[in-house]
Amino acid sequence: MTDGEQMDVSKSGDQTADDASPGQDLLFAPLTTFLDAMQASFDLEEFISKSRRELTDVENAFTAEASRRLPGDPESVHRQAASVIHRDIHEHMSARKDSRESEASEATIAEMRDDFLAKLRCDLLEVTGKPEYYHWYGPIWQRAQTRPDKTRILLASLLMSVVSDFEVLVSALVRALLLLRPEILRSDEAKYSMRDLEAFSDLDEFRRHCAERMADALLRGSYEDWMQWFSKRHNLVVPGVTDCPVGVVEVFQRRHLFVHNGGVVNSLYLLKIEGLSEPPVIGKRLTISEAYLQGAIHKLTVAGIKLVIALAAKLFPDPETIKSIDSLVSSITYELLMAGRYISVEEVNVWHLTFVQHPSPRLVAMVNIWISRKAMRGMRAIREEVEAWDTETLADKFKLAKLALLERHEEAYALVKRLIANEELAMRSWQEWPLFEGLRRYETESEFEPIGQSVQPFEATHTDEPAPE
């Protein structure tokens, strides 16, 4: 970015995976696919969480089962019956509790149960018009009450998908490294006959085959095997990734546990997660909660980003490419910030600060860390650091960032208007960046005329189908 270009505070440039050279694209295209998959899983987890009541509701389960067993009646009849059964049961439970607390006799309680069943029979007859449904509905209600938790099944399936997506990323990185550094293939001890070689049109096709075969063989191993291949054989050391932190390893081991042992803890699982605080006991059946899945998505997202960026920096160490890589990290974390994935934003940017050399992406990383910490832990978590941040000699966009973080809205809003007018602040940054969320609310509450219009008008065409693969 030159001095004459419009500045975008949210990112240190507009570098994306699409801007990569063919060699870099071998790394960045799989990363884009991986991050899209992680975001989709994150969104699905939120959907499952919001839909938990509907997914676990006994009346919904009863209605679905009754519709399958008794298809001759409209679903609305079964749904009304479910509501009647549920209501009558709870009324009886409440009355029985009151009777026991008042020390009523067992005979009285038994009489109450007979009255409850008689009332339920009448109520169901009124709904269905068929006396036999009283007997048919009983087993259906019992089945609905003992159904498996659909949310647990969905969350466990999502965990398997998330781990598989990471495996696909690692496989792509292994193939990319072998294609970009073909000399590694010389260590391959596989032997080929002349007949084998005749199947390939040229040496490049043969190398691709060898890379595929080596990547496939490596992926049959464990997470620890993959990271050892990167770190020990190719000197790619990424803290929090290649050193196999127990939290990341546990995600893979839990996936294996669900695939091969129904989620029941065994000795192999415990051996692999040595060092985990409060490990479960052998024989315990583990579950996948919303919080656990969110944590797994976070851990693998961060690990994937770190692994790709570190490998790219190793393979393409020239200053211009490193600058582009720094800009790409800023773009990636900006998208995570927009999705509200503050834990991932904080961790990736803290890691980025350990090696970023150029001042603009370094400052952007600092700001995004503060945004995340403020969102997660409030103003107290950042106030001292931000107030101590000396922006006197920095560009106005960073002065603005400090004012916005500290919620000095009047000063910040005046500066926003000036920077946009001078084309020193991108309109997209003003409209999207979470840094300005409080300022945009201040604008609305103060009934000011909105700054600018949408920079991304609606498309004229539309489809309800998902985007093609």
Q: pLDDT tens digits for 131-171?
A: 999 999 999 999 988 888 888 899 999 999 999 999 999 99
The span from the CA of 369 to the CA of 66, in Å, is: 53
Confidence grade of residue 92 (pLDDT, cut at 50, 70, 90): very high
Confidence of residue 445 (pLDDT cuts 50, 70, 90): very high
The gap from C-alpha 270 to its chain's centroid, in whole angstroms, comes to: 26
**Are residues 103 and 234 located together in one domain of the fold?**
no
Q: Tell me the residue range of the domain where 226 lies.
A: 20-49+152-185+193-327+346-357
More confident residue, 12 or 95: 95
Question: According to the model, what pLDDT value does residue 456 have?
Answer: 58
287 Cβ contact partners less than 8 Å away, ≥ 6 residues apart: 152, 155, 156, 263
Query: Alpha helix (H) ranges present in 102-189?
Result: 106-128, 133-145, 150-180
Is 413 a member of any domain? no
Residue 11 lies in a domain: no
- CA 357 to chain CA centroid, Å, is 29
Closest by CA position to 89, among listed 149, 148, 135, 145: 145
Q: Are 66 and 137 in contact (CB under 8 A)?
A: yes
Q: Is the dihedral of CA 417, 421, 422, 423 positive or negative?
A: positive
Let me know if residue 412 belongs to a domain.
Answer: no
What gap in Å lies between CA 166 and CA 170, rounded to an integer? 6
**What backbone torsions phi and psi does residue 386 show, to the nearest 5 degrees?**
-70, -40
Cβ 37 vs Cβ 165: under 8 Å:
yes
Q: Is residue 453 part of a domain?
A: no
pTM of the predicted model, to two decimals?
Answer: 0.83
171 located within any domain: yes
Q: What is the largest CA-CA distance in the chain?
A: 93
For range 237-257, the mean pLDDT? 96
More confident of the two residues 216 and 434: 434
Q: In the predicted model, what is the mean pLDDT of residues 109-132?
A: 92
pLDDT above 50: residue 225: yes
Question: Domain tally for the chain?
Answer: 2
What mean pLDDT comes out for the span 310-334? Answer: 93
Q: Is 437 a member of any domain?
A: no
Residue for token pair 């390939």: 200
User: Domain ends where: 312, 338, 357?
Assistant: 357
Among 147, 177, 210, the domain-final residue is 147
- In a domain? residue 375: no
